[in-house]
Amino acid sequence: MDSLNQKLASALSFTTPEMIRWTGLRGITLKSAKNEVRATYRGKRTKEVQIGGATFQFGTGISCETRSASELNLVERHGVRIVFGEPQSILTAEQWVTKTCRLMSLALRCPIACRVYTLEREPSGSASVVTPWSASRTAETKTLHPLFTRPKKQTVYAKVLRSWFAKYDKLEPVISLRAALLSQPEKYREFEFLAYVQALEALHRRTRPTRRIVTEKQFSVLQRKLVEAIPARWKAKGELVRKLSYLNEISLADRLRDVFACDKELLSKLFRDEAQDIALIRDIRNYLTHYEGKRKEKKIRAYTETLKFWYLTSKVSLLLEIAILRAIGFGQAEVRMLIQNDPTYRDLCKADHSR
């Protein structure tokens, strides 16, 4: 190979770490007399989707390991294969792997979806390639409750895949924040909370870039009048004029209200008092990033030392996941079905995080 830009890759493939999500399990038969265990399951055939000059193939398999009549181990793994329409460079293949693994991490709520992938080379042969994040010491833990697995409907499956790759570059900072937190199981709760709120704000900015207090035309007129009202003799006029350009930006609370409005029925069970909960999220973010006086600081600090703050952080994390699902192509009914079937959501609905 002369360089990383040499176009020699015809396809790539990898298999996810072990998952325990028995979506295809039909039944288990125990025959104690013969010391035999049999497991049957519904297999998921590989589905193909055309994406940007490549064929994306995704399959699911379940293997059964039996050591005795009393011990049964079912392992579900997801296999990914991407066949390129024309040879690609290793750098391009690496980009495909990164984007695909980020999707798998989000879906399966696991930090690392692939450490090594197989690169099929032109004209023949294959090679194993180690991913840049393979040096991470993050363990490949079993995921009890994935956010979602492969959608059953082909139309939804294809829509989500195409939307993910089409919007990845725009949403990359948001995706990176979520993936980073998945790979840091031992983290400060305050850092986790801040990252989730920052990701929500970044996602809103990228999905609703024109959201402002007033229209650009109205603000342009107002801004001009405000600039003219500042005396020219003031030394700080230049700095004030620069700050005026941000006057039309909406606040974090405004962005959160927009996020909550996407599905009030679903979110009202997580956040029972929208106004108070938005104020709580805003106040904690401000406490962790600004200084707002000793009186408010004392109350917020006391709250962040309770179990309620852990519940709130977990709910904000789920709020981010719901917002990402909508951003990558899932419809409201599809998101609602996924989240309502999620044990994490049902448990958090029972948890009290009120101040």
285-301 pLDDT tens trace: 999 988 766 777 888 99
Which of 62-76, 92-106, 247-261 reaches the highest mean pLDDT? Answer: 247-261
Domain boundaries, the chain: 9-147, 172-211+250-350
Please give the backbone phi and psi of residue 75, each rounded to the nearest 5 degrees, phi first. -125, 125
pTM above the 0.95 mark?
no
Model pLDDT for residues 187-242, shown as the tens digit of each residue: 788 999 999 999 999 999 999 999 999 999 999 999 999 999 999 999 999 999 99
Residues 316-329 have a mean pLDDT of 95
What does the block give as tokens for 91?
């750098």
Q: Rounded to whole angstroms, how far apart are CA atoms 128 and 147?
A: 29
CB contact at 8 A, 272 and 352: no
Flag whether pLDDT at 306 surpasses 70: yes
What does the block give as tokens for 135?
């040096």
